Amino acid sequence: MSNQWQRQPAEVFSRSKVVPVMVINKLEDAVPLAKALVAGGISILEVTLRTDCAIEAIRAISKAVPEALIGAGTVLTPEQLDAAIEAGAQFAISPGTTPTLLQAAKQRSIPLVPGVASVSDMMVALENGYDHLKFFPAEANGGVKALTSMSGPMLQITFCPTGGINLGNYQEYLALKNVKCVGGSWIAPNDAIESGDWQRITALSKEALA
């Protein structure tokens, strides 16, 4: 948590039970994809910085879809964080935790949700004042069982598990008391984006929120 931030991570986590992880390969897909998710009731969007056009996709979505809270995912460095902020990102998510990124992000204007995979990562995050964390990769790291075990020693932490989550298991995560939302790409699948099947993405969003 940082006083510099325009909003706190708790607000980001409260926005939606499901955070779509968006991998955008073609800039022209960015706005239709965002609109398809919003049409399905999703009001938070995470664009991963894994593709060449990701920063421009954030810029385009933040202008064209202002009703959604737009964030950057896969933020690995302070430089990427700065690029995302400049493009209009309102929050940032990283897959892992480094002291460099955690300390830099406290001096920026938007909240960072660091990724953690182990109790040691969680302790580093807590030491740096971060208690809203992404548990990644959730399924590969023990999933619901691991998070249940964490609720004892890591009492202060609220998680957004991501990685391997889908329609078949997301409700089990959301039932945990230390989980507020889940992340996943299942509501924005690559084949639907490639074929411009925006109706399917809207339907998947509605199904996830039902």
Ligand X SMILES: O=C(O)C(=O)C[C@H](O)[C@H](O)COP(=O)(O)O
User: Is residue 172 flagged as an active site residue?
Assistant: no
Q: Cβ of residue 141: shortest distance to ligand X, in angstroms?
A: 12
The DSSP result for 107-131, as a single string, is TSSS-EE-EE-SHHHHHHHHHTT--
Rule CB under 6 A: say whether 143 interacts with ligand X.
no
Q: Which is nearer to ligand X, 63 or 82 (CB)?
A: 82
The 20-59 site mask, x for binding ligand X (CB under 6 A), equals -x--------------------------x-x---------
Region of 122 on the Ramachandran plot (φ > 0 left; ψ -120 to 50 alpha; else beta): alpha
CA 20 – CA 29 distance, rounded (Å): 15
Among 122, 183, 187, 192, binds ligand X (CB under 6 A): 183
Name the burial class of residue 209, with classes exposed (0-12), middle (13-18) and buried (19+) by CB atoms within 10 angstroms of its CB: middle
46 is an active site residue:
yes
Classify the C-alpha dihedral 69-8-81-128 as positive or negative. Answer: negative
Q: Pick from 164, 174, 197, 206: which binds ligand X (CB under 6 A)?
A: 164
Q: Which of 162, 178, 202, 205 binds ligand X (CB under 6 A)?
A: 162
Task: Using CB under 6 A, pick the residue from 37, 55, 165, 192 that binds ligand X.
Answer: 165
User: Hey, is 22 helix, strand or coil?
Assistant: strand
Q: List contacts with ligand X (CB under 6 A).
A: 21, 48, 50, 73-74, 95, 136, 162-165, 183-186
